[in-house]
Structure 1
């Protein structure tokens, strides 16, 4: 699977450090209130990325399956 970067608008950081994820992205990633997002940072490139925890768990499960089958 290949992911392409795309600009989905701009967000403003609030006084408490909060940002709002655009509705179109929340819908396409099925992000609901109270869902957990993992925050990744590439400090050298000044990049912050978010990933829904549920997708990360699936990714780890698939990787574990491949490793297990390879043993």
Structure 2
């Protein structure tokens, strides 16, 4: 998954304003206690980060985006 696709999906799920907050502020256990931004900055593949978002927010991510 390209990084631009990742951010588009995150914006679609949470809305542009809230997506940035989720990415920067929410620590996900699925990412080893890191935020989305930290994980991406540390080189975690975008598909792995996206799967962690899907697992952390199963009710928010629609099936078509999983």
For the aligned pair, the TM-score class normalised by the smaller chain equals under 0.3
Higher RCO by CA contacts (8 Å cutoff, separation 6 or greater): 2
TM normalised by structure 1 equals 0.25
More helix by share: 2
TM normalised by structure 2 equals 0.26
